Amino acid sequence: MLQSMNKPGLSGSGARARTAWRGRGGWLSAGALLVAIVLAAPVSAEGILSVLARSHRQKLDELKRQAVSDPRAELLRQDFEGLLARQSPRPDVELLVVDGPVHAETLSGRVIVISAGLAVLDEGERLFILAHELGHVQMGHWAELCAVYARHIPAEVTPDVTDAVAPKLGREASALVHGHEYAADAFAWRSIRARGWGLGSVRGALMVVPNVGDTSTHPATRKRLAHLRTIGEAESRSAGLDVD
């Protein structure tokens, strides 16, 4: 659809629905929390890549129990198919629509999980969120994060090992995933911009649950918007990918 450079105002049931789920959890904050999860996991005689794979598999198994197939899920699937149709070759990726706290995240590097509640957003906002997650898949962010873990924990995962490396690994992983967020934002922005949507849609998506400050996994929302503004409405290359 080639229209609407800005998000239309909210009214009626859309506004009520948006208000109803706002604050139930953040699609922006549910991504790479595995830094803490993995280091706290009681594992032994297991390599870090196995631990990481297992933690995502377990989370995915839990989320699959919340899978929904209803008009909201159908709408999000149509949006997603529209994005996939523009990827060549078609990526190895699955979409799982769940009924639960509002969030979107990518697990195991290839399964995008999104809350059915996000179907109430405007089309450009939905596309931005889906394209952001698709960006993580297309750019191989999961593999990059795994590589950082493997470099810090090259042998068996034990509490002694994880305690010793946790501060440095945490800092490095956090810096990496912050860069991933900027890169996925840039990917998503170009994707929706190509379809006629404007920064208003980006702002709407990012302001669903804004981050006032940086978190371990996400830069502050104002920083993400600032990065996207450097890409602008017309440039074909991203200045926003060069992040610290």
Please report, as residue ranges, which positions from 52 to 91 form the binding site for Zn ion (by CB under 5 A): none
**Cβ contact 41:51 at 8 Å:** yes
Q: Which is nearer to Zn ion, 119 or 186 (CB)?
A: 186
Please report, as residue ranges, which positions from 159 to 188 form the binding site for Zn ion (by CB under 5 A): 181, 184
Q: How far is the CB of 106 from Zn ion (least distance, A)?
A: 7
Q: How far is the CB of 99 from Zn ion (least distance, A)?
A: 21
Give me the residue label for tokens 């809350």.
115
Q: Which is nearer to Zn ion, 56 or 157 (CB)?
A: 56
CA distance 112 to 30: 12
CA distance 220 to 214: 4
Q: Which is nearer to Zn ion, 162 or 211 (CB)?
A: 211
Stretch that binds Zn ion, among 30-38, 71-79, 90-98, 186-194 (CB under 5 A): 30-38
Q: Which is nearer to Zn ion, 134 or 157 (CB)?
A: 134
12, 130, 203, 213 from 221: Cα distances, Å: 27, 17, 9, 7
Q: How far is the CB of 44 from Zn ion (least distance, A)?
A: 31
Q: How far is the CB of 173 from Zn ion (least distance, A)?
A: 14
Q: How far is the CB of 66 from Zn ion (least distance, A)?
A: 20
What φ, ψ does residue 107 adopt, rounded to 5°?
-115, 145
Q: How far is the CB of 184 from Zn ion (least distance, A)?
A: 5
CA distance 197 to 131: 13
CA distance 68 to 24: 18
Q: Which is nearer to Zn ion, 123 or 181 (CB)?
A: 181
Stretch that binds Zn ion, among 24-32, 65-73, 142-150, 227-235 (CB under 5 A): 24-32
Stretch that binds Zn ion, among 11-19, 28-36, 56-64, 147-155 (CB under 5 A): 28-36
Kindly state the tokens that stand for 160.
């002694």
12, 154, 157 from 146: Cα distances, Å: 45, 11, 14
Q: Which is nearer to Zn ion, 116 or 184 (CB)?
A: 184
Beta pairing, strands 104-107 & 94-98: unpaired
**Of the candidates 180, 201, 186, the residue with the CA atom closest to the CA atom of residue 232:** 186
Size of the site for Zn ion (CB under 5 A): 3
Q: Which residues of this chain interact with Zn ion, rule CB under 5 A?
A: 31, 181, 184
